Amino acid sequence: MAQSDESGCGLVILAAVGFYIFAPASWTNAVWYGVEYKVSPGDVHTDDKPKDCDFMHAPLGDKGCSYKAYVKAYNVGGVLVGGEGAPKYGHDTKTGRPIISYDGGKTWDWYPADFPDPKVASVQVFWRKE
């Protein structure tokens, strides 16, 4: 009896993986990035994935290219707070004033205002050809 339970569980996992692979990217991205950024799937907006690298796109066959998903996460005010190209925020240790880095923390500049709210309100998924 234990063997049929294991094979049933394996079929469920296989079906879930197959569904994830073949489901539309907008649906799977909404779930995936919704969980990652703690937003509702309705707040995840996915651009249409270009078809020019698809095997079935004319001319038929392998095109030697693919697209990778990239993400930008915005707060309620529309300020980029996560994902691709998001700056790092911090405080100057001497003055306590807010600072910002656009190169991953290598260099810092004064941030002209109070920090934006870091809570993500919406996520934009876009595609980049590789």
CA 75 to chain centre: 15
| pLDDT at 16 > cutoff 60 | yes
CB atoms inside a 10 Å sphere around CB 99: 20
- For residues 92 and 100, what is the distance between their CA atoms, to the nearest angstrom? 10
| pLDDT at 50 > cutoff 90 | no
More confident residue, 59 or 126: 126
| pLDDT at 10 > cutoff 70 | yes
| pLDDT at 4 > cutoff 60 | no
Residue among 108, 35, 114, 119 at smallest CA distance from 82: 119
* pTM (2 d.p.): 0.69
Cβ-contact 59, 106 below 8 angstroms: no
What's the count of helices (H) and strands (E) in the chain, helices before strands? 2, 7
Tell me the three state secondary structure of residue 20: helix
